[in-house]
Amino acid sequence: MKSSASGKIILFGEHAAVYSRPALAVPVTQIHVDVEVLDSPRQGIWIDAPGIDLHAELNSLPDNHPVGSVILKVFSTLGLPSPTGRRAGDEGGLDISIASTIPVAAGLGSGAAVSVALIRALASHLSNPLSDEQVNNLAFEIEKLHHGTPSGIDNTVITYQKPVYFIKDKPLETFKVGKPFTIVIGDTGIPAPTKESVGDVRRLRMRDLCNVENIFNEIAQIALIGRRSIESAKPEQLGELMDQNHAYLQALTVSSPELDNLVEAARKAGALGAKLSGSGRGGNMIALVDQPKAESVAGALIAAGAKRTIITEIS
């Protein structure tokens, strides 16, 4: 059984989304995780994930391992006996292969994509395919294990593969793109420490509640206006909103010199606007560009130190 899940970028609302403000996120189909689950002549559950240098049997993994956690969650959800502690002669040997083109810890949803693709492939192989809602809920449980208090936006947009207007604990809203637009993604090459960044924003909010809440409210307005701009076929309005959102994320201390440098380089190269995307302090930034300028903006990002770029059309 095979399953794939694409990456994602957050257009607006990161960090504020943790505190029940809206955020916008869209799939990035150029990058994806592919999972295949096969019956195996070997006993046990064997995992081969060369991208993270993982070649092991499930029982050998630590209790909180991301991939192992997903497998155990699927078995538990389906009401099946735990796959750990299998003995020689037990039935049900599996080979699981995981391949990914999504950079790890870069704000592109790598972890959530692995969870979503693995949940779908494993549940289907076990003859119990899950609904999108079940997949999303399971993937969110895994996100909480590894990111502390995540917003839930990564697993949601990756599960549903549509542009998402997301408010924590509210019904999911997908929306349509009135007119395609082009985004250039620039990767700093620095792992984004999501758990640390989310925790620091939480502590900042505790020290300066009024100011941080005001910032969250401003970011919420940006996300709302951004959605309206996309739906009404006016994506050029997103550039100024990106610049504003980046300034607020700087105030929340989650940018970095490397991200600020790439944002500035994109603007100087003709981008309509730019901001960090994701938890910050590493990972990616995004720039809104007129399609003919996409290659030149991508080149400027590489010249400014980006380790890689992705040009994606949101439609």
Catalytic one among 154, 187, 208, 243? 154
Three-state SS string across the chain, please?
A: CEEEEEEEEEEECCCHHHHCCCEEEEEEEEEEEEEEEEECCCCCEEEEEHHHCEEEEHHHCCCCCHHHHHHHHHHHHCCCCCCCCCCCCCCCCEEEEEEECCCCCCCCCHHHHHHHHHHHHHHHHCCCCCCHHHHHHHHHHHHHHHHCCCCCHHHHHHHHCCCEEECCCCCCEECCCCCCEEEEEEECCCCCCHHHHHHHHHHHHHHCHHHHHHHHHHHHHHHHHHHHHHHCCCHHHHHHHHHHHHHHHHHCCCCCHHHHHHHHHHHHCCCCEEEEECCCCCCEEEEEECHHHHHHHHHHHHHCCCCEEEEEEEC
Angle at 272 between CA 269 and CA 278, to 5 degrees: 95
Q: Which residue has the tokens 């449980």?
A: 141
187 a catalytic residue: no
Q: Are 77 and 7 in contact (CB under 8 A)?
A: no
Catalytic (active-site) positions: 154
